[in-house]
């Protein structure tokens, strides 16, 4: 007999792959060890960003709370429900301790087999309409900062002309803009030029993040990175190595959640090759696994078994690679 160390409060028995969960004197079918490990990979912030974005509320530079429980704080890969004195690291802990799910149900929810139970939602506050910050007439501070970070001037000019990059009048921040397929600005984030300040503009739709589009709209290649500066860095490296940087699309995820990538794939059906270029740290490595899972699910829902759609496009390919440095 082994005690379950996942917070479910029961015992687990079984063979090398299948586990059984005991409640009282009864045994019920459980989940595999592989499913438990997969469920434990989800941190709470990534889980809420992906599946319950309406539940997240920013309450500090690097801190979030939930709308249902404003004393439940999330930061530095951990969460704590201060009013109840409980906390944890993973989304699995959250579903068990806060949402009241049993261990097996929580694992299945995180593996995509069962939806978590709905919870009472407070009356939503009116969402502030999205509005871009006022632009500076002379973006000299922004240009000096980004060129100091090694971004090629040609890429900066392309972004400025496309209206996806400018300098804010107040505080002279870099403003990275994400647009939908019609060209309408739907997202913007600010990056400080004098400190580590970073924030999304209120009302932004994170499905439409900052991107660099290939010269050919039907280009099948997409490279994704965690932030706008990472995205510009990828294109710069291609250009400096003698390649044609316009021979691929580039997309910022605004973190490691797959939401922006999945929206981009919906909007650009010709893309069949995705390179995952995230940071060489725990969040980046775990994020790449989650992105691979999201791509497999997207392909399963939208393509045939051989990876081709009804038009007979080439099979899908996914490359995972990491950067050896963190921006």
Question: Is residue 284 included in any domain, yes or no?
Answer: yes
Q: Is residue 128 part of a domain?
A: no
Residue, of 178 and 113, whose pLDDT is higher: 178
Same-domain pairing of 200 and 162: yes
In this structure, what CATH number is given to the domain that contains residue 149?
3.40.50
In tens, the pLDDT along 216-232 reads: 999 999 999 999 999 99
Residue whose pair of structure tokens reads 């010269």 in the numeric block: 215
Does residue 255 sit within a domain?
yes
CA atoms of 56 and 64, how far apart (whole Å): 7
DSSP H stretches of helix in 206-275: 228-240, 259-267
146 and 86, same structural domain?
Answer: no
pLDDT of 170 above 90: yes
Q: What is the mean pLDDT of residues 30-53?
A: 85
> For tokens 């392909």, what's the residue?
299
Domain that holds residue 266: 140-323
pLDDT number for residue 2 = 40
Distance CA(79)–CA(65), nearest Å, equals 9
Last residue of one domain, picked from the residues 110, 132, 160:
110
Within a domain: 80: yes
Could you tell me if residue 115 is inside a domain? no
CA distance 123 to 128: 15
- Claim to verify: residue 147 and residue 103 sit in the same structural domain: no
Q: What is the pLDDT of residues 293-326, one digit of tens each?
A: 999 888 888 765 555 554 445 566 666 554 443 3
What is the CA angle 96-97-98, rounded to 5?
100
Q: What is the model's pLDDT at position 260? A: 96
Based on the fold, state whether residues 94 and 217 are members of the same structural domain.
no
132 within some domain: no
For residues 96 and 173, state if they share a domain: no
pLDDT classification of 6: cutoffs 50, 70, 90: very low
242 and 283 share one domain: yes
How buried is residue 310: exposed, middle or buried, by Cβ count under 10 Å (0-12/13-18/19+)? exposed
Q: What does the pLDDT read at residue 15?
A: 38
Tell me if 230 sits within 8 A of 211, measured CB to CB: no
In a domain, 296, yes or no: yes
CA distances from 296 to 115, 237, 316 (A): 19, 28, 9
Structural domains in the chain (count): 2
Same domain, 180 and 90: no
Most confident of 8-17, 51-60, 258-267: 258-267
DSSP three-state, residue 47: helix
Strands 273-279 and 317-323: parallel
Residue scoring higher pLDDT (29 or 296)? 296
- Given 110, 128, 152, the domain boundary residue is 110
Q: Using the Cα atoms of residue 308, residue 311, residue 312 and residue 314 in order, give the sign of their dihedral.
A: negative
- Domain boundary among the residues 110, 128, 161 is at 110
What's the pLDDT score for residue 9? 42
């Amino acid at each position: 007999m082994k005690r379950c160390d996942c917070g479910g409060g029961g015992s687990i028995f079984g063979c090398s792959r299948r586990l059984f969960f005991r409640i009282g004197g009864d045994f019920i079918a459980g989940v595999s060890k592989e499913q438990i490990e997969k469920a434990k990979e989800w941190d709470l912030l990534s889980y809420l960003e992906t599946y319950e974005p309406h539940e997240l509320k920013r309450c500090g530079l690097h801190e979030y709370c939930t709308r249902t429980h404003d004393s439940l704080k999330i930061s530095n890969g951990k969460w704590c429900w201060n009013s109840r004195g409980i906390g944890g690291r993973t989304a699995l802990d959250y579903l068990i301790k806060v949402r009241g799910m049993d261990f097996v149900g929580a694992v299945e929810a995180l593996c995509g087999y069962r939806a978590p139970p709905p919870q009472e939602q407070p009356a939503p506050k009116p969402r502030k309409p999205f509005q871009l910050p006022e632009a500076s007439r002379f973006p000299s501070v922004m240009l000096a900062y980004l060129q100091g970070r090694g971004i090629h001037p040609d890429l900066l000019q392309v972004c400025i002309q496309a209206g996806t990059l400018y300098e804010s009048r107040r505080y002279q921040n870099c403003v990275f803009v994400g647009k939908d397929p019609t060209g309408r600005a739907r997202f913007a984030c600010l990056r400080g030029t004098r400190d580590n300040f970073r924030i999304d503009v209120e009302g932004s739709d994170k499905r439409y993040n900052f991107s660099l589009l290939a010269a050919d709209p039907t280009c099948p290649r997409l490279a994704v990175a965690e932030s706008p500066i990472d995205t510009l860095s990828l294109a710069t490296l291609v250009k400096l190595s003698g390649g044609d940087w316009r021979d691929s699309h580039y997309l910022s995820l605004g973190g490691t959640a797959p939401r922006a990538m999945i929206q981009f794939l919906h909007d650009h059906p010709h893309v069949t090759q995705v390179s995952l270029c995230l940071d060489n740290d725990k969040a980046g490595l775990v994020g790449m696994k989650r992105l691979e899972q999201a791509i497999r699910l997207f392909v399963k829902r939208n393509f045939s078994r051989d990876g081709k759609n009804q038009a007979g496009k080439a099979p899908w390919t996914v490359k995972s690679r990491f950067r050896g440095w963190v921006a």
